[in-house]
Each structure stands twice: as structure tokens, then as C-alpha cells.
A and B are shown apart, each in its own frame.
Chain A
Amino acid sequence: MKIGVLLKQVPDTETKIKLKADGSGIEENEIKWVVNPYDEYAVEEALKLREKNAGSEVVIVTAGPARAAEATRQAFAMGADRGIRIDTTGVSIDLYGTALILSKVVLEEKFDIIFAGKQAVDDDCTAMIQFVAELSSLPHVSPVEKFELGADGKSATVERPVAGGMKEVIDIELPCVLGCEKGLNTPRYASLPGIMKAKTKPIVEKKAAELLGSEGLRVTTAGWALPPERATGKKIDGEPNVVVEQLVKFLREEAKVI
């Protein structure tokens, strides 16, 4: 099987986001970049599928600047076979554009199945799976908590959580795009031999500008601002009846929420 994984490099979740001095975007200098945590589930599921189907390969597809190759190498260290990086350096690109260039690679590679994290933890748009699936004319399910390949190898049964603690069980035809959720598996370690082998695995580069063609921006960014800092809280001391009275007064007169 030819298994594709859509991978995104994101800032470490503990990063303190700072804006550039001129307000033109996020200051990237001090950011520690990591593989999007949900994408690790995607890589693991792909590797598990490869292990069960001899002769399969796992291909990592990512869009981003040169540094994004590090994330692909981390997936190599876990065991993925090769990579494709769409270089976005110097290209203004929005969600739709990113989905478009990824889908072009997906169509070109003719993957049997595509895994991706259910969302990227940087912008949390939770939209890429649906966009890529639509632009590639493939079915999709997200988030997926359980995956099993059908006996015919041409379909799969997946579980998707729905409201009220229930689960939808869905039969889906391959090829398809699946958004991976926490709990689907336990991602393996990047092993030391894996890390050493990673540098010998190929990453093919493509140019975002070429794949985009005449497609321009559908979304423009008006500006960047950090959320306002939270005001310090107020502590009311005293006997319960006095405290409640005070609290109601504050909520009514100062916070004006009741």
C-alpha cells in the first residue's frame, strides 16, 4: 500500500507567542518547532498499517519553509520511508491555498490512504482534512479514534466520537483521508538507529508557487494582536452571607453579567 501522511511543523505547545515589533506577524526566532502532536498519531497509524501489509511505504507530505524538513526527519526517525516538502518560502498562502497544493501532491502520488492529525495545534483551524479531501474528491472522517483495514484491503472501519459519549462506526472506501485523534494509538519513539538512518531518506522538494498556479489569496490578514491580558481577580473575605451579598453586588454592578 502507498500510505500518505500529511504533517505540519508547529511551535512547541509551551511556546510563549510574541508578535514581531512591527506587528506584521509572529516572532519566530525563539520558537522551538515540533511535529504537530496529532500528526504523531497519524505517523504511528501509517507505520502500523505498513507493518501489517508487506511492501507498503509511508510517505510524509508537508508544506512549509526549509525548517519544516526537520519535522519530516522526525517522522523518518520513527520509521517513515520518504518525504515530499512543498516549499512555501516567500509565498503568501492561506488555508485554501495550502489545501490545494497538498491535494495536488495527494492526487499525483495516488495514495491508497491518507492519515493526518485531526487538527494542528498552532492555528487550530480543524479544516485541512476536509479541504484536502474535497479538493482531491476523496471521502474523509475526522476525528478517528479507532481504525481497522477491511479484509478486502479496499475499505476500512473507523470510529468517530459524537456528542453524548457515543461513537459512530463508519465503513469507508479507500482511498480516503482520516483525521487522527488522541487515543488512536501510542506513537512510537524516534529510535536512535531511526534517527541515524533518517538522513539517508529522501525528501523531494516542490515549489508552492508552481502548484498554486494562478490561485491567489482568498483570506487576507487584517492585523495581528495578542489577546488582552486578564485583569487580576478580586478576593472577597468574610462570613458566607456577607460574601454572597458582596459577590452578587460585584457581578451586578461591576462585571454587569447579571
Chain B
Amino acid sequence: MQKIFTPEMLTEEQKALGATALDFIQKEVLPVSKQIEAKEPGLVPKLLRKAADIGLLMVEIPEEFGGLGLGKVASTVITEKSAEQGSYEVSFLCHTGIGTLPIIYWGSEAQKKKYLPRLANGEMLGAYALTEAGAGSDALGGHSTAKLSADGKFYVLNGEKLYITNGGFADLFTIFAKVDGHLTAFLVERNFKGLSFGPEEKKMGIHGSSTVAVAMQDVQVPAENVLGEVGKGHKIAFNTLNVGRWKLGAGSLGSCKELISRSAKYVMERVQFGRPIGKFQLIRNKIAECAMRTYMLESLVYRYAGTLDEAHAKAKDGAEKVKQLEEYVIEASAAKVYGSETLQFVADETVQMFGGYGFCDDYEVERFYRDCRINRIFEGTNEINRLLIASTFIKHMITPPMTEQSKTEQIASSDFAPSSVVKKVAAYLAGVGAKKYADKIVEEEALLAVVADIVIEGYAIESGMLRAMQTKDKLQGEMVRTYMAARIPLLKVAVRQQLVNIAAGDKKEFAKLEKALDEIIPEIVYDIGKGMDLIAAAVIPA
């Protein structure tokens, strides 16, 4: 059986890191939550600098540059414990993630030496500027330009970036602009002349986080501030998002856990018809469903973190680490899509359980509901991520990536039967689709989205399953069985319709395709009701 990293394997030290992160949130951030939401000027950067004082911003920065040189697992623990205040969380993740990681992965020695220690101690706060008005999902379609000066000493940047998180206060920006039409990343300090900032956007959620437009008018950026190679900015842009996507999954996980603990408590306090609403089946099932999905998310996020830590530890240089990021692109996107959609579900059901109180801001769950909505949009919309997952999956089917640990091989030959079923279905549908549409399959987005759904669910289920098999925990086992019994038939319905579409409605052709599908997916007969009862009983206090 394949061994994966699970939260049960966290060391005392890693748990202690998480405990400090939580301690900080509870003592410093939550007491000023209302002020954060009211956009009190200077408050969020002040909190980030306080966080820096106790080392919360230095986790992934290498030791020689003033950091702790810790990996993704440690960072996951800290991220999920920081999720109780969404606006702060987004600002924190922006700084430690997309604001800092590009320099860790692609920075030159001089750039690392100059900027990383200051990002670690909070002297500088980071941001990342890729999006433009006409370049959102089409990230490479931006119009910002960079021209090398006649003496070759600096680049002159022009253009406007939109929706820049932390933009209102960040000191250092990774800005993308085109040099002769080729995307290039630049490290731009706030005080470089010609940089100006728009007003704060009025948003649906994460009200306390800073989101502004950044305009560049003849900004002179020293040539040594080019990050990575000129013209290779797309590599930085996409791989940074990869890491950001896993972090988003970890943050979503923290919010899910927080909401479940709040609702499990609330439903036993709220009495209707003479008994706590937590004694009613429809309410208990909601909590069981939230718990099951969150368990899968937790398994998936920690597995990805553990896999990357193990890989990074063996990497001989930064370039190899970047290659590893590229190799696990499916998993990173799956963490983002599954994380954001699980949180959306959990937040929605939590508001529902809180009823009218949940709709009012005194009970705070409505804040989570509003705050989480952005997760399905930024760091690549879930639609873009689904297309990325499916196209990468198909690409890997044709030409498997180099290393032994490659995901695709696992997808093709897992030694664990039930979850390999899900993978086989993905491979089957992608295969049938590729045969029919050949190169045109990229236009068949509805089909690709179904392939992606199966891959995502397969990764979630397999992670939950491998974990349950390692821990031999009964409740975890029950969650996996119940979840599969609920989910796989739904996936089958979606695949079936795609097969009908592929057969263009031809009944005979479809019958052939469906027969093969039936052979892959066995009929599941499992008492989900009993499973939900057991899960609810474990989560809701008696």
C-alpha cells in the first residue's frame, strides 16, 4: 500500500507551531475582528508585523535568509490554524504565499539576500500583481509592458494591474509585464517612482483585506530586479499559483473545521419542539456531510504537503523543486477546487443550521459565508482549474512525466481497488473523448469538467482512504465508505450523460459505451443512513 503523509503523523513540534498560530489569532486578531472588517487604517499590516515578531512570516524562508526553512506540512498546520478571521487570513496567505514564494523559488542569491530577511521579519510586506482588466483567467493576455533602457541598467514599466491583494500597504510587489511581448516578472518596491495605487475595492467579503489597482507609469525597475529569466515570467506566474492553490486548500480546511465546531455546539444549544435541533436527523446529516467532506479535504491537503516536502528534500537545486511543483499541478488544483467548494458547502449549511441567527452578523457565520466566496474565483477560477486538471490528466495519459513518483502512474495503477475505480473511470471517459474528438477535445469543456471532477474526487477519496487504512481508525473508515457510496453513483450519472453526448444520441453506440462503464463501476449497495448516524454521533456532543 502506498504510504502517504497524514495529520496523525504531525510531530509535537509541528503541533506546537500550529498552537502558536492559533494563540496569536485568538489573542491578537479575533478581538479586533470588527475593526478589521471596518477597514481600520493600518490595522492589518500592524497585525502582520506582530505576527512576524513571533516568527509566523518566516516559516518557508530558508534559514540562511532569516527564515526557519520549514516545509509545506509545517506551513499547512499554521495556515489552517490562521483561518478564523478571513480578511486577516487572506492578507497573511498573500504575504507568505504568493508575496514571498516567488523569491524563494526563483530569486537570485542577491535578491534573496536583499528581500527574504525583510519579508521574514515583517519589515517588508509582499504582494503579487498578475491580473489586469483584460487579463484575468487569460493571465498571459496582459498589456503591461517593460522596456529596457538604452544603457541597459533598468526596465521601464507601464500598465495597470487590478485586484491586487495587500496592494494598499505592501512594500514589495512581484509584477508581471511583457518584454518584447514575453511575460517577465519584476520585483518592484512600493517607493519606486511612477507607481500609484487606486482606492480600496468594495467587496462582497473579506472586507478587511486590501484590494486595489496598481498603476505603473514609467516605473524604473533596476535590471537586477528581474525575477527569473526575461521572457520566462509565465513559468513563475503559473507555478506560484500552484503553491498558492494548495495554501488556499489549507486555509479552506481551517475554516471548515472552525465552522463545524461552531455548528456542532450551536445545534445542541438551540431548542425547538422541546429538544435541541441537533437531535433531528436532517440537522445531524448536515453535520455528518460537512465532517465527511472536511475529512477528505484534510487528508488531501496534508498528503500534498507531505509529498512535496519529501520531494523537495531530495531536490538538488531550486530548478528541480520548480519541476516538482509542475509535476504535482493536478494535486494543487484539486486542493484549490475541492477546498473552496467544500468550504462553500460547509459555510452554506452552517448558515442554514443557524437559521435566522445565521443570517444576522452577530453570529458571525454569515461572515464566513461571504468571505469564502472569493475562494472559487481567485488563484485561478475553479473552471480554469478544472480545465487545467483535465488537460494535464490527458497529457499525462499520453506522455507520462519523468519521475517515478509521478501521479499518473499512481492514477493508472493504484493497488487500492475502490479508489482506482474512480481513476479508471476518469481514464475511460478521457480515452473515449480523446478518440472521438482528438485534438478538438480542448473545446469539449463540459466533458473535460466531468473528467476533472472524477480526478478531483478520486484524489480526495484515495487520500481519505489511504489515511484510514494507515490509521485503522473506525470513524475514518466509515466516512470513506459512506462518502464513496454517496458520491460515486453521482459521478456515474455525470459520466453516463457524457457518453450519451459522445455517442451523439445513438442508442446502439451508447449501449456499448455504457456497458464498459458498468464494468468499471460496480454497483454500490451501502446503508448511507447508518453511516451518517455514526459520523454525526461522533461529531455532535451528546
Residues of A in contact with B (beta carbons under 8 Å apart): 70, 73-74, 77, 189-196, 198-199
Please give the distance in Å from A59's CB to the nearest CB on chain B.
20
Closest beta carbon of chain B to A236's beta carbon, Å = 19
Chain A to chain B: the 9 pairs with minimum beta-carbon distance, closest first: A192-B55, A191-B54, A189-B54, A195-B16, A191-B55, A193-B55, A190-B20, A189-B20, A195-B17
Q: Does B19 contact A (CB under 8 A)?
A: yes
In the complex, residue of chain B having the shortest beta-carbon distance to the beta carbon of A194: B55
Minimum CB distance partner of A74 in chain B: B16
Residue of A whose beta carbon sits closest to that of B21: A192
24 A–B contacts, CB within 8 A, in A order: A70-B12, A73-B12, A74-B16, A189-B20, A189-B23, A189-B24, A189-B54, A190-B54, A191-B20, A191-B54, A192-B54, A192-B55, A192-B56, A192-B59, A193-B55, A193-B58, A193-B68, A194-B55, A195-B13, A195-B16, A195-B20, A196-B68, A196-B70, A198-B16
1/0 per residue B41-78: CB within 8 Å of A? 00000000000011110110000000010100000000
The interface centre, meaning the residue of B24, B54, B56, B68 with most chain A CB atoms within 10 A of its CB, is B54
Chain B at the A interface: SS class = helix
Contact with A along B283-304 (1 / 0, CB 8 A): 0000000000000000000000
Contact: A192 with B23, CB < 8 Å?
Answer: no
What's the Cα separation between A70 and B54 when bound, in Å? 20
- List the A side residues contacting B68 at CB < 8 Å: 192-193, 196
B471 CB to nearest chain A CB (Å): 16
Which A residues are in CB contact (< 8 Å) with B54? Answer: 189-192
Inter-chain CA distance A253–B58, complex, in Å, is: 68
**Which residues on the A side are within 8 Å of B53 (C-beta)?**
191
What is the distance, in angstroms, from A1's C-beta to the closest C-beta of chain B?
26
Q: Are A77 and B16 in contact (CB under 8 A)?
A: yes
CB contact between B58 and one of A74, A192, A194, A198 (< 8 Å): that residue:
A192
**CA A196 – CA B59 in complex, angstroms?**
11
* Inter-chain contacts of B24 with A (CB < 8 A): 189
Which residues of B are found within 8 Å of A190, using beta-carbon distances? 16, 19-20, 23, 54
CB closest residue in chain B, given A199: B13
> Nearest chain-B residue to A67 (Cβ)?
B12
How distant is the Cα of A113 from the Cα of B152 in the complex, in angstroms?
A: 65
Residues of chain B at interface, number, CB under 8 A: 16
Which residues of B lie under 8 Å from residue A70 when comparing CB positions? 12
Measured between C-beta atoms, what is the minimum distance from A193 to chain B in Å?
A: 5
Q: Could you tell me which residues of chain B, from 351 to 371, have a CB within 8 Å of some CB in chain A?
A: none
| Sample of 17 more A-B contacts, CB < 8 Å, known A195-B20, A196-B13 | A73-B16, A77-B16, A77-B20, A189-B24, A190-B16, A190-B19, A191-B55, A192-B20, A192-B54, A192-B55, A192-B58, A193-B55, A195-B17, A196-B68, A196-B70, A198-B16, A199-B13
Chain A facing B: main interface SS = helix
Alpha-carbon gap, A70 to B16, bound state (A):
10
Name the CB-closest residue of B to A188.
Answer: B54
Measured in the bound complex, the distance between the Cα atoms of B24 and A194 in whole Å is 15
Report the separation of the CA atoms of residues A196 and B14 in the bound assembly, to the nearest whole angstrom: 9
CB neighbours of B19 from chain A (8 A)? 190
Neighbouring A residues of B12 by C-beta, 8 Å: 70, 73
Measured CB to CB, the nearest residue on chain A to B20 is A190
B59 cross-chain contacts in A, Cβ below 8 A: 192
Which chain B residues border A199 with CB–CB below 8 Å? 13
Q: Which residue of B lies closest to A196 (CB)?
A: B68
Closest to A70 in B: B12
A192 close to B13 (CB less than 8 A) = no
Residue of chain A at shortest CB distance from B12: A70
Which B residues lie within 8 Å of A196 (CB)? 13, 68, 70
- CA A199 – CA B14 in complex, angstroms? 12
Q: How far is the CA of A7 from the CA of B205 in the complex (A)?
A: 44
Interface string of B2-24 (1 = CB under 8 A from A): 00000000001100110110011
Write out, one digit per residue, whether chain B residues 139-152 have a CB within 8 A of any chain A CB (1) or not (0): 00000000000000
Residues in B neighbouring A189, C-beta threshold 8 A:
20, 23-24, 54
Q: Which residues of B contact A195 (CB under 8 A)?
A: 13, 16-17, 20
Which of the listed residues B16, B17, B23 has the most CB atoms from chain A within 10 Å of its own CB? Answer: B16
Contacts of B56 in A (CB 8 A): 192
Q: A191 — which chain B residues lie within 8 A by C-beta?
A: 20, 53-55
In the complex, the chain A residue whose C-beta lies closest to that of B58 is A192
* Bound Cα distance from A74 to B53, whole angstroms: 18
B275 to chain A, nearest CB (A): 14
Most buried by B among A190, A195, A198: A195
User: CA–CA, A194 to B20, complex, Å?
Assistant: 11
Contacts of B17 in A (CB 8 A): 192, 195
Considering the chains assembled together, what is the distance between the CA atoms of A95 and B321 in angstroms?
A: 56
CB distance from B298 to the nearest CB of A (A): 19
A235 to chain B, nearest CB (A): 14
A39 to chain B, nearest CB (A): 16
Tell me the smallest distance from the CB of A75 to a CB of chain B, in Å: 12
When C-beta atoms are compared, the residue in chain B nearest to A189 turns out to be B54
Which residues of chain B come closer than 8 Å to A194, judged between CB atoms? 55
**Alpha-carbon distance between A174 and B262 when the two chains are bound, in angstroms:** 49
Q: Choose among A74, A191, A192 the residue with the greatest number of B CB atoms under 10 Å from its CB.
A: A192
A73–B20 Cα distance when bound, in Å, is 13
Which residues in chain B, 405-440, are within 8 Å of chain A measured between CB atoms?
A: none
CA A195 – CA B23 in complex, angstroms?
14
Tell me the smallest distance from the CB of B189 to a CB of chain A, in Å. 26
Q: How far is the CA of A235 from the CA of B57 in the complex (A)?
A: 54
Bound-state Cα–Cα, A199 to B23, Å: 21
Nearest chain-A residue to B69 (Cβ)? A196
Cα(A161)–Cα(B53), bound, Å: 34
CA–CA, A195 and B56, complex, Å: 12
A198 cross-chain contacts in B, Cβ below 8 A: 13, 16
Shortest CB distance B445–A (Å): 44
Instruction: Report the Cα distance A195→B15, complex, angstroms.
Output: 10
Q: Which of B332-387 contact A (CB under 8 A)?
A: none
Q: How far is the CA of A195 from the CA of B16 in the complex (A)?
A: 7
Query: How far does the alpha carbon of A195 sit from the alpha carbon of B53 in the complex, in Å?
Result: 14
Nearest-neighbour CB distance to chain A for B78, whole angstroms, equals 8
Residue with the greatest number of chain B CB neighbours at <10 A, chosen from A70, A189, A196, A199: A189
Nearest-CB distance from B28 to chain A (Å)?
Answer: 9
**Which residue in chain A gives the minimum CB-CB distance to B16?**
A195
Cα distance A196–B526 in the bound complex, in angstroms: 47
Closest to B55 in A: A192
